Chain A
Amino acid sequence: MFGVLRVALRCLAFSSLWVVLALAWDAPGMFAQTPSPDEINRVAKMLSCPTCAGINVADCPTETCAQWRAKIGELLAEGKTDQEILEYFAARYGDHVLQVPPTRGFFLGVWIVPIIAILAGLGTFGYLAHRWTKRPTAIESPAVPSDAVEDEYVKRVEQELQSWQK
Chain B
Amino acid sequence: MAEVREETPPPPYVAKAHPAGRRLIWLIVVLALLGTLLGLLALGLQPRTSVTLQGKPAPPFAITAINGEFAGQKFSLADLRGHIVVLNIWASWCVECAREATVLEQAWRAYRPRGVWFIGVDYLDTDTAGLAYLKRFDITYPNGPDIGSRIYQAYRATGVPETFFIDRDGIVQHVQIGPIGQTQLDALLDRLLTQGRSQP
**Co-complex (A, B):** yes
- Which residues of A does B touch, CB under 8 Å? 50-51, 62-64, 67-68, 70-71, 91-94, 96, 131, 134-135, 138-139, 141-144, 149, 152-153, 156
- Which residues of B does A touch, CB under 8 Å? 1, 4, 8-9, 11-13, 16-17, 91-93, 124-126, 128-129, 145, 147-150, 153
**Pairwise interchain contact A67-B93, C-beta atoms closer than 8 A:** yes
A70-B126, A71-B126, A94-B148 known; A64+B12 contact, CB < 8 A:
no
**Pairwise interchain contact A63-B148, C-beta atoms closer than 8 A:** no
Looking at chain A's contact residues, the main secondary structure is helix
**Pairwise interchain contact A138-B13, C-beta atoms closer than 8 A:** yes
The interface centre, meaning the residue of A91, A131, A142 with most chain B CB atoms within 10 A of its CB, is A142
Q: Which of A50, A91, A135, A141 contacts B124 (CB 8 A)?
A: A50
CA distance A149 to B11 in the complex (A): 14
**Pairwise interchain contact B149-A93, C-beta atoms closer than 8 A:** yes
The smallest C-beta distance from A99 to any residue of chain B, in angstroms, reads 16
CA distance A131 to B26 in the complex (A): 15
**A-B pairs with beta carbons under 8 Å apart, 30 shown:** A51-B93, A51-B124, A62-B93, A64-B91, A64-B93, A64-B124, A67-B92, A67-B93, A67-B126, A67-B129, A71-B128, A92-B148, A93-B124, A93-B149, A94-B148, A94-B149, A94-B150, A94-B153, A134-B13, A138-B12, A138-B16, A141-B12, A142-B12, A143-B9, A149-B4, A149-B8, A152-B4, A153-B4, A156-B1, A156-B4
**Pairwise interchain contact B147-A91, C-beta atoms closer than 8 A:** yes
B125: A residues at CB distance < 8 A: 64, 67
**Pairwise interchain contact A139-B126, C-beta atoms closer than 8 A:** no
**Pairwise interchain contact B126-A142, C-beta atoms closer than 8 A:** no
**Pairwise interchain contact B91-A144, C-beta atoms closer than 8 A:** no
